[in-house]
Amino acid sequence: MLYGIPTFLSGAIMRFMPLKVGGIVCWFLAIATLFITPNYFLLLVALAVVIAWIIPGYLMRKHFKNKTV
């Protein structure tokens, strides 16, 4: 849940949709932890990091790299 708030707010401030989506996915994964066994918590955290930070980071890098040329 805590990953989602700053990620969503950063996406809203920068008007970058992948960050907003990443924040929303983090919130859904936080809710999903209520329904799964504790053995899978770390997998959901890893999935949240990939969806909320790594994928939007690469997309942002590609966007700004193409924009500055």
- The helix/strand/coil state of 19 is helix
Domain count for the chain, please give it.
Answer: 1
pTM as predicted: 0.84
Domain of residue 61 covers: 4-67
CB 16 within 8 A of CB 56: yes
The string of pLDDT tens digits covering residues 19-55 is 999 999 999 999 999 999 889 989 999 999 999 999 9
How far, in Å, CA of 59 to CA of 21, rounded? 13
- Are 56 and 15 in contact by the 8 Å Cβ rule? The answer is no
Measured CA to CA, the distance from residue 14 to residue 8 in angstroms comes to: 10
Tokens of 13: 């401030």
68 has a pLDDT exceeding 80: no
